Chains A and B, each alone.
Chain A
Amino acid sequence: KNEVEQSPQNLTAQEGEFITINCSYSVGISALHWLQQHPGGGIVSLFMLSSGKKKHGRLIATINIQEKHSSLHITASHPRDSAVYICAVRAPNFGNEKLTFGTGTRLTIIP
Chain B
Amino acid sequence: GAGVSQSPSNKVTEKGKDVELRCDPISGHTALYWYRQSLGQGLEFLIYFQGNSAPDKSGLPSDRFSAERTGGSVSTLTIQRTQQEDSAVYLCASSVLAGGWGTDTQYFGPGTRLTVL
Interface residues of chain A, those whose CB is within 8 Å of chain B, are 30-31, 33, 35, 41-45, 48, 50, 86, 88, 90, 95-104
Contacts and interface: CB of A to CB of B under 8 A. Distances in A.
Interface of B: 31, 33, 35, 42-45, 48, 50, 56, 58-59, 89, 91, 93, 98-101, 103-108, 110-111, 113
Contacts, number: 63
A45 B56 contact: no
Nearest to B101: A50
B104 to A, nearest CB: 6
A-B residue pairs, 7 tightest by C-beta: A43-B108, A97-B98, A101-B43, A98-B45, A96-B56, A103-B42, A50-B101
A48 B104 contact: yes
Contact of B50 (A41, A97, A103, A104): A97
A99 to B, nearest CB: 6
